[in-house]
Structure formats: structure tokens, C-alpha cells
Amino acid sequence: MNYFSFASMITFFVCVFAIYTVLKISYKSPTTILFALYMFCFALWSLGYVFIYPETNKQVIWFWYSVAAFGWIPAQFVRLFFYVYMTQNEFLKKQYWIIFILALFPVWMFYQQFTGVFLVKDFMMTPLGTVEIIDVTAPGIRFIPLYSMFSSIIGIVLLTVGIFKTKRKDIRAGYIWLIISNIIMYFFIMGLNILLPALKIRIPSIGAFTAIVIPLITFYIITRYKFFYVNLYSLENNHDVSIINGLYTIETIFDNIQNGILVIDDQYRIVRYNIYMSSFFSRPVIPGKTTCYEALQNRIIPCVNCPIRGMDGTPLMNQREVIKCATCQKQFDVHYYPILEKSNETKGYIQVFTDITDMLQQKKIQEDTERIIRHDLKNHLYAITGYAEFYKDAVEYSNKDVRDAFSIIHGESQKMNEIINSSLTLIKLERGNYNVIKEKVSLYLLILHVKISLENMIKQKEITVQYDVLKEKSESFIMYGEMLLLENMFLNLVKNAVESASTGSIVTISGEIDVDMEDYQGIIVITIHNDAVVPESIRDIFFEKYTTGKSGGTGLGNYTALLIAKAHRGDISYVTGDDKGTTVIVRLSRSSSDQK
């Protein structure tokens, strides 16, 4: 069998296989059809030369040459439009006048081929097979090289535009190889067409050789870079529209979901991330280069306790951990899901980040609130315990004293119940969004009640509590605020003063009205003084949470008192010294404009 005929037969079957591969794809589109048509042109071209090379009957040769012409004449035209749809060039798809102009060239070529001599005027049999005899005066001798060059340039331009449009590296590589193959084949074929005749070397059709090589290269590149599964799907097909719309929907969800999503490869390099995740990076992220530990932890090596350090080809179980971002100071609950290949090798991870900063803060606030509640309940329990002890020895007192004691116990129990019911109030105070329920409050009567609540402790330490100034000017110390909160505030402050005072000393509670230019009714200033001195170690953090100078103290009394004062447009400060003891200064607005 003729070698050139055998090579053409191989090409024919390759083209048939390519057509079959494309047409068996369930989603048909202009792109798949154009590729199948492109391969069909080469199949006709190569099929014609399967019979031309070994044939000696010129009538049969001319018949098969006509069959081949139906392949090689429209091949360039079909290839251009295959490139248009493969690269998704929406502009050229809508320019129908360009299609009309380009279609004129193959129509004219067909007309010339079947009405006269377009390129080949005869055939000659040689030991290598049938050789074409070219008519040097025929129009095709000049037109075909120009047309081939023109279509090749347009094809290269389309592929180049496609390179810049696509974001996928594999598709970009496919375009580049198609450009390289087009350039090499064009100059190779044109070079042979010029060189061989100049050397007076006659071999069977160079055009047929092109038909052998081009489909092999094109089919390999397109299958190698999976164009069948990406670029051969056109948006114009109804099925494909639903697929693309689905992909857009998934992409929208991916970018807008309120969880950070990070995709990393087996070298910890970030491959993909969503918009929510990008706000937590410590540096600009270059996909494929920046690692997760660089972007999130600002490290130069992987984290010591990273659950994905075992990416050595063995699939790991889904991992979970809590991490703290080094730059944004947020805390995340992170789930790790391995990306497995068919061989069950781990090639990367999908990390899902859930911001639990607020949740942890809420949990901490809840714990703090429970401590504050326990602390405040404890204050009232002092009174209950003291008067319960009094009741135990009630035989020494009159019935009136017993009734008074039970009245105090009942009142303190009611306050404990109110504190429990107002636990949410303390959370709102910390957040600064609590709305005070204002009522008319006499600070003199309120502090008097506080003193009575602490009477048992005062007696045990033989403390003298003086509040004569408040008593003398009781009508001046009227303000608008929330009774329970204000009582808790002064209970904390007075109790702290009594506890820290030395046995047998004096605790002085006094007050004055301070003129304020912004508050024309003035500011109530209540001072609580004892002989104790605040330790040096806590002076700067005296009103901060968990600060205490007492053994077994919670460090919440002063902190809670300050929150309550601020909720009433006030403040608390203090002065301390070895020679003068400690004075706590409470400033509260008495403005009637705050009334409700």
C-alpha cells in the first residue's frame, strides 16, 4: 500500500474519532458543531487522498480530488469560526457582515474549482504515488497562500485575545500551544511549497501532508487541555445557559456567604478565597504564591499546631480548630476538608472560617454577668445573714426589734429577686446601650438604707458611719435615676469602704452640689472616705474588671459601680494617700431635663 495513502487513512480515522468524541458530548452547541465540522473537512480532505495516491485512472483521481476539495476549500473558513466560538468572542459573533464577507472566499474558490482550473491542471504518476501538476497561471497559485496567511493571522489574533480574557491557566496554555502550532505549520507548509518546486523535487501533495498533521496537532491540544469540557460549551445552547447560570449562582453564593472560605494546595498556597475571607488577610494575596500562614498569621513557616501539616499523600479526617488571626485579632472556628484525587491522595484543603469573636465575647459577658450577680447578691446576703443571727438571739430584744429585723430580711430578699430579674440590665450596661428608667430618688434616704443593710458588718468592725451633711441637706440631694441601680452602686462603694477600713475607724459619707456650666441645675457630688490606702499595684486599674485588693474578692464591685454611674451621665474617681486615706468621689447629674 502507498505510504502517503496509509498516512491519509490514519488521518481520516483520527478525524472520525474526533467527530465521534465531540458529538457524544450531551450538550450540543455551535462550538461543538463547528469543531466537528472542522474535523469533517479534514476527514474529506484525507479521504480523497487515500484513493488519489495509489490510483492510476485519471477520471477516478479527478473524482476523489473533487471530494477532497469539499474538505480543504472551506477548512480555513470553518476553523476561524471555531476559534471565535471557542474563545467566546461575543463581539465577532454578532458581526454577521464579517461572516458574509469571509464566506465569499470559499464560495469563489468552489466556483473556480468546478468551472475551470483553480490550482491543479493535471496529475502525474510517480513511484511515490500520484503527484499534482500545478498551473502556475491559475488564480489559486497566488490566492491560496494569501488566504492561508490571512486566516492564520486572524486565528492567532483570536487566540491571543482569548489568552488575555480567560482566567484559567490550563486554557491559557492551550491557546498558546494552538498559536505555536499554527505559526509552525504555516511557515513549514509554505516553506515546502516554495522550496521543493525550486529544487525540482516532486512528491505527492504537500496540501495532503497538511491534512495529516494539522488535525493530529489540533485534536491533541484540545483534548490535552480539556477544551471539550470547558470551551466547547457555548452560552447559546439552552442547556449550557442553565449550567452557566448555575455556576454564576454558586459563584455568587461563594463570594457572599458570611463565612470565610479558603482553598489551599498541597504546599499551603492559597488557590482561591471569597470576598468575606479577604478582609482578614494581613497582606495582599497572590493566588498560587501566598501561603495561608503568611496571609493569616504573618508567619514565614507553617504554624506549629497546624492540623494539615500531615499532607503527605495520606488523606486526613476532617479537622477542626479555633485560631486567632494575628492581624485582625478575631477568633475563628475553622473546619478543614481534604481535597482528594481519584488515587485518594490529599492534594489540598478547603478551609471554612466561622467568626466566633462575638460569640466568645457574649460568653465572656455572660460569665462576667453571673459573677456580678453573685457579687451583688452576696452584698444583700450580708444583711440577711446578720439579721438572721440577730433573730437567733431575739429573746434579748423587744417584739418590735424582731419585726424590724424580719422587715429588713424581707426587703433584702426582694432586692435579691430584683437583681436576678435584672441580669440582662448588667449586660446592657457593659455594652453601653441601657436606657435608665428614671424616677425621683433621694440620695440621702438611699444611702441611709444602704447603711442599714450593712449594719451588722458595721457593728462587727465597730465602724462609725457619718453622713450628717447628707442629712442636713437631704432636699438638695434629689436626682432622677433608677432606684435599684443607684442603690447597688452605693451598696458596692460603701461596703468596700467599710470592709477596707481599719477596726474602730470612721467612714464619712458627705455631699455637695457642684455648679456646672453645661448642667444649670448642678452636679451632685457624693464622697465616701475611709482611712485605708489603695495598694500601689492596683491604683491605675482601680475601676477595671476583676481588680481587687481583698482576699477572696471578685474585683467586680467598683467596676459595676462605675458602669451604673456612667449610665446616669455620671462618673466615679478616687484619691488616695498614706497620710489621708482614700476618698471615692461620685458625680451624678441632677438635671430635671432627664426626667420621665
pTM for this one? 0.41
Q: Where are the beta strands (DSSP E) in 281-403?
A: 319-324, 331-340, 346-355
pLDDT single digits (tens) 371-388? 776 666 666 666 776 666
Average pLDDT in the chain: 76
pLDDT single digits (tens) 408-443? 776 676 666 556 655 667 777 877 778 888 899 999
pLDDT single digits (tens) 283-306? 788 878 888 888 887 787 777 667
Q: Which amino acid is at 137?
A: T
The verdict on domain 257-355 having CATH code 3.30.70.20 is no
Instruction: Give the whole-angstrom CA distance, residue 567 versus residue 559.
Output: 13
Phi, psi of 427 (to 5 degrees): -65, -45
394 to 53, 145, 398, 403, 495: CA distances (angstroms): 131, 124, 8, 10, 26
Q: What is the pLDDT of residue 530?
A: 94
What are the residues facing 334 on neighbouring strands? 321, 353
Query: If we measure between CA atoms, which residue out of 67, 71, 79 comes closest to residue 43?
Result: 71
Q: Which amino acid is at 317?
A: M
Q: Which residues contact 338 (CB under 8 A, 6 or more apart)?
A: 315, 316, 318, 346, 348, 349
pLDDT single digits (tens) 329-375? 677 788 877 777 766 777 788 888 888 777 777 777 777 777 776 66
Phi, psi of 403 (to 5 degrees): -65, -40
Q: State the span(s) of the chain assigned CATH 3.30.565.10.
A: 360-594
Instruction: Give the whole-angstrom CA distance, residue 568 versus residue 559.
Output: 15
Lowest average pLDDT, out of 547-556, 565-574, 579-588, goes to 547-556
Per mean pLDDT, which of 83-97, 304-318, 578-592 is the most reliable? Answer: 578-592
Residue 504 or 52, more confident: 504
Instruction: For residue 162, give the C-alpha cell.
Output: 482569548
What are the residues facing 320 on neighbouring strands? 335
Percentages helix, strand, coil for the chain, rounded to the nearest 5?
Answer: 55, 15, 25
Give the DSSP letter string of 275-310. HHHHTT-SS---TTTSBHHHHHH--SS--TT-TTTT
| 519 Rama sector, left if φ>0, alpha if ψ -120 to 50, beta otherwise | beta
Owner of C-alpha cell 490566492 = 143
Give the DSSP letter string of 181-247. HHHHHHHHHHHHHHHHHHTT---S-HHHHHHHHHHHHHHHHHHHTTGGGTTT--TTSHHHHHHHHHH
Q: What is the pLDDT of residue 237?
A: 41
> Are the beta carbons of 585 and 575 closer than 8 angstroms?
yes
Band of residue 581 on the pLDDT scale cut at 50, 70, 90: very high
Half-sphere exposure of 535 (CA within 13 A, CB side): 8
Instruction: For residue 321, give the C-alpha cell.
Output: 480548630
Phi, psi of 433 (to 5 degrees): -120, 30
> Are the beta carbons of 260 and 289 closer than 8 angstroms?
no
Q: What is the pLDDT of residue 595?
A: 46
Instruction: Give the whole-angstrom CA distance, residue 524 versus residue 374.
Output: 29
Half-sphere exposure of 446 (CA within 13 A, CB side): 25
Half-sphere exposure of 232 (CA within 13 A, CB side): 23
Band of residue 96 on the pLDDT scale cut at 50, 70, 90: confident
Phi, psi of 513 (to 5 degrees): -105, 120
Q: Which amino acid is at 34?
A: L
Q: What is the arithmetic mean of pLDDT over 183-187?
A: 74
Query: If we measure between CA atoms, which residue out of 431, 497, 442 comes closest to residue 464?
Result: 497
Query: If we measure between CA atoms, which residue out of 594, 593, 589 comes closest to residue 569?
Result: 589
Instruction: For residue 176, give the C-alpha cell.
Output: 498558546
**DSSP 8-state code for residue 580:** T
Q: What is the pLDDT of residue 232?
A: 40
Q: State the span(s) of the chain assigned CATH 3.30.450.20.
A: 257-355
> Kind and range of the H or E element at 131?
strand 129-134
What are the residues facing 158 on neighbouring strands? none
Phi, psi of 241 (to 5 degrees): -60, -45
What are the residues facing 346 on neighbouring strands? 340
pLDDT of 311 higher than 60 = no
Residue 166 or 245, more confident: 166
Instruction: For residue 458, give the C-alpha cell.
Output: 458595721
Q: How many helices, marked H, and strands, marked E, lie in the chain?
A: 19, 14
Report, at the CATH architecture level, how domain 360-594 is classified: 2-Layer Sandwich (3.30)
Instruction: For residue 233, give the C-alpha cell.
Output: 460549551
Phi, psi of 212 (to 5 degrees): -75, -45
pLDDT of 507 higher than 60 = yes
Using only C-alpha atoms, the chain has a radius of gyration, in whole angstroms, of: 46
Residue 256 or 269, more confident: 269
Kindly tell me the sign of the dihedral angle through the C-alpha atoms of 481, 483, 484, 489.
positive
> Are the beta carbons of 581 and 530 closer than 8 angstroms?
yes
User: Which CATH topology does 3-239 take?
Assistant: Rhopdopsin 7-helix transmembrane proteins (1.20.1070)
Crossing angle of the two packed helices 399-421 and 357-392, in degrees rounded to 10: 170
Q: What is the pLDDT of residue 263?
A: 87
Which of helix, strand or coil describes residue 422?
A: coil
Task: Residue 66: count other Cβ atoms within 10 Å of its Cβ.
Answer: 12
Q: State the span(s) of the chain assigned CATH 1.20.1070.
A: 3-239
